[in-house]
Amino acid sequence: MLEKQIIQLPEGIRAAINDAYRVEELSLITELCDKAALSQQQLIDIKNSATKFVESVRAERKKSTGIDSFLTEYALSSEEGIALMCLAEALLRVPDSATIDNLIKDKLSGGDWKSHIGQSDSFFVNATTWALMLTGKILTPEKAQTTLAKSLMKLVNRSSEAVVRKAVDKAMRIMSKQFVMGRTIGEALNRAKKKEAQGYRYSYDMLGEAALTSIDASRYFEAYKEAIETIGKQADKDSTVYRRAGISIKLSALHPRYNESQHERVMNELPPKLLALARLAKEYDIALTVDAEESERLDLSLDVMERVFNDASLDGWNGFGLAVQSYQKRAFYVLDWVAALARRKQRRIMVRLIKGAYWDSEIKKTQMQGLKEYPVFTRKVFTDVSFQACAKKILTMTDAIYPQFATHNAYSVAMILNITGDYRDFEFQCLHGMGNELYQQVVPAERHGIPCRIYAPVGSHEDLLPYLVRRLLENGANSSFVNRIVDDNAPISTLVEDPVEKAKSLLHKMNQNIPLPEDLFQPGRKNSKGLDFTDRTERARLQQKMAQIKLQQWSAEPVISGTTTLIGEKQRLESPQQTENIIGTVQNASLQDVDQALKNAAQTFPDWSAMPVKDRAACINRFADLLEENQAELMTIACLEAGKTMNDCIAEVREAVDFCRYYSMQAQQILSEPLRLTGYTGELNELSLHPRGVVLCISPWNFPLAIFTGQVVAALATGNCVIAKPAEQTPLIATYTVKLMHKAGIPVGAVQLLPGPGETIGAALVADKRIKAVLFTGSTDTANLINHTLATRGGEIIPLIAETGGQNAMIVDSSALLEQVVVDAVNSAFGSAGQRCSALRVLFVQEEVYPRTVALLKGAMAELVVGDPRWLVTDIGPVIDKTALTTLKNHVENMKKRFEIIYQCPLDESLESGYFMPPTAIAIDHINALEKEVFGPVLHVIQFKRKDLDKVIKQINATGYGLTLGIHSRINETVEYIRKNIHAGNCYVNRNMIGAVVGLQPFGGEGLSGTGPKAGGPNYLTRLCHERTYTVDTTAAGGNASLMSLPD
């Protein structure tokens, strides 16, 4: 499983790199401190030099027209600074004036722009402030208190909204010019001449994020090609590759699926593209540097670069380069790989040593995936140590490496100048628009005479935005050196500290602000463990385990008081991805089994409910540990039985574990002690919770482990006994799971399993008065049937917690980032083959951005891999069975008669033996075109006019469902308006709308989508309990001693 070939473990230098991927931070930094150490005299000299640099920069900053002073003035921590970033990121791409007006009002009306006037000596900051304030005053005239404000108000009063838009747009363009060299490579080259004459060099970067579609990738390739030719033709023929301008390339821009799971395809398609660009760069003898990207892509990047670099057509060329991120734990070891690669070909490789640009996303992604360690350092000072250690190492490899030190940090510059001594064959690098004052102390011949290469983005304003925000976020943060070097309030001594000494003082403690993923929810509970599919060693070990497991034949049968009943005929179970593959057998329960299980549960209930809640919780936590120990087995069964992809399989196990630990924590909080209620003196009032009895748990096939486990452990944690009836399609994983529960110490009578048809076994259980509560996840129709049975069976009224389906919508206005919209829509609609209750069914797109959205949607869908879920390369697996497939196909055929098919993914002939439904997008005109929920990979797209937003909201509410809602907008007012007016249990903004996390996004809907309370939330367990109050008159024996003893 995982891959069709046996995954090879990394060897040699690559093994050392892999070992450092997520190595324990403090042990690594201890080692790097030794590697980075300098003599006492060096430290004194560096500190003195760095201090002079800072003093010079601060003296020069008053003359600055650059972004440095702007960042100080509008600190990221200020309300105005944040609004400005949101505006800069969204404003220039919004096509319609109405949305621009709303965006401006939303971001600027709350900002106190007036307070910034005169706060900075830089005309640049004040000019921008006035433009912003001009808008602020028209929106908040009550703040017009000063003379300047009054004079501006006169202008505003006679200005139209169009003029206001133009003023704000101008402010954004002033700011963007600070970061972007030119709209075209020709424009950038002309602008560079002045700096080049002063001793600076350039590396040009064609703006743009990762390619989403093949069309994007082709466009970026042509842009790189044109840029290389233009740079090359203007290059000084008498110069060298080290002095000439070069180009920087993002590999993710050249391939729409540039990630480890698509390794085989990437290695077939990407190296030829990179090689073509490298050959062109060699022809002109200019440098080509491969940019560093997210840590999960490093191994793939090394593979691509090695193949290209080794091509004989590049022999003799020393212009190939790559960026190494010192915030990555692997950086120190990557340098060994680079040097070995260069030496084998007797060439030099340019190495741009940088700190790293994706730190925040690396931290968040690791936390979300529940991985053991971070791939990057959690403290900035640790990154500084790594940078210093790597710099020293590079200088021992200059036969193989041409050093390029990229930094805006005065201490780092002083350190490099010190350790290089008389060696001159290297350069510094900085970002265009930043660090100018610092490098004016370094580049001129009368100073140090060391060249600095400027990393210069080239492209249109539309492509600028994500880059602009990244730079603002990195360098506008109050902790950033770029921000602090020009801040007179930051003591110079704090800017010129030895990072090694500072790091050593922190070696005894972890960063409490960034706990390890496992400890994210402590002290309450442990986080569930994830799997890193980008770690080749971890992947190889998992493959070995799963290869042994899949050879087993699985069986499912009734588990009654710990014993399996083997009377009756067994049915064979097929795999949905390969129907001729019989993966096991199931023996369904009988009506006699139902009766026996109910008797056993009733007998067990007194002892189980009387057990202290901490002991019940301990059993459940042991079960959680067993789930993690049996991770490979559970993933294998989920894949073979339910057709789940590998990513869905690990998510399923993790959610089950989180349910266990969350509910056991919750149970101890609410059940350990009665709640003392405040009241009259002389009286005791307490509220306590008590289990109900036997709870019936009916779980679905689409989450056969996670929801099954969540229902069962919630009932168990509250002291109830459970009879679990799994979905008919997925009894194997349920049987395996119940046996793990018993192994964990949960009494055999406390949880029993009865597989079988809902029409017989399910119906018999629901109708039996010994059932005291029902937990159900499934269709709305079945929930109504259960509700009717409970209402008519007589006896006490018992709780029914039903979680059903939804006609889930996402609303996209024209301020949204469309690339992100499409990524989130594709994941939400087609992930898990659309077989999630939360899946996106209807995408509403504002008409101004509808054509672009649809074009991107087509391109992104064309890149999806529909196939066997056993392979990691697969994005979309099968639907659950023939009935589901037939229903979906019939729906699409009916839609074709009335509406246009936007795109339907092609299916390979090899998939004909499984239940594969091609992901399909359909343009419809109204949500009423859908008579009911379409449970599969089918997305319906509707365009709307901005003025009709209220009609869209009414359409969605009129369906009667209320499960999940997605909103993509950069306008907070719009987001809040939609959120308040649409009835949805879970609302997601500017992200996908699936994958609710236990304890973070409690899941459940309203209306036709369920009864509540939400699963994985703080109110779920109380529904499974009786509430009892206890009142005692403490003065009954005579007198109120506690009152009488109160002091005066």
Residue (of 1040, 1030, 244) closest to 676 by Cα position: 1030
Other CB atoms within a 10 A radius of the CB of residue 60 amount to 16
| 863 CB-near residues (< 8 Å, 6+ apart) | 212, 213, 214, 256, 257
* Contacts (Cβ under 8 Å, ≥6 apart) of 203: 245, 246, 247, 248, 287, 289, 429, 453, 454, 455, 456
- Mention every residue, 6+ apart, whose C-beta is less than 8 A from residue 193: none
> Catalytic pick from 33, 619, 697, 837?
837
In what helix (H) or strand (E) does residue 277 lie, and over which residues does it extend? helix 263-284
CB < 8 Å & 24+ apart, contacts of 481-485? 481/408, 481/409, 481/410, 482/68, 482/71, 482/408, 482/434, 482/435, 483/71, 483/72, 483/75, 483/76, 485/54, 485/57, 485/58, 485/68, 485/408, 485/410, 485/438
Token digits for 279? 């050959």
* Active-site annotation holds for 803: yes
Tell me the residue type at 65: T
Question: What is the layout of strands, in order, in the sheet containing 554-556?
Answer: 554-556, 578-586, 571-575
Question: CB–CB of 685/1028 below 8 Å?
Answer: no
- Strand segments, DSSP code E, in 681-764 are 683-691, 694-698, 721-725, 751-753
Task: Enumerate residues 6+ apart whose C-beta is below 8 A from 532.
Answer: 21, 22, 296, 369, 371, 538
φ, ψ at 204 (rounded to 5°): -90, 140
Question: Is 673 among the residues known to form the active site?
Answer: no
Between the two ends of the chain, the Cα-to-Cα distance in Å is: 77
Helices 613-629/706-717 angle, 10° precision:
160
What Å distances lie between residue 402 and 241, 280, 323, 399, CA to CA? 11, 21, 12, 8
> In this structure, what token pair is assigned to residue 807?
């006609």
**What is the amino acid identity at position 667?**
A
Q: Tokens 């900035």 sit at which residue?
A: 380
User: Tokens 């390029």 — which residue?
Assistant: 404
Using alpha carbons, select from 139, 135, 137, 206 the residue that is nearest to residue 172.
135
Residue of 803, 819, 848, 933 marked active site:
803
Put the strands of the sheet holding 559-560 in their side by side order.
563-564, 559-560, 751-753, 721-725, 694-698, 771-777, 800-803
Closest CA to 375 of 353, 389, 359: 359
Are 861 and 826 in contact by the 8 Å Cβ rule? The answer is yes
Q: Which residues are catalytic?
A: 803, 837
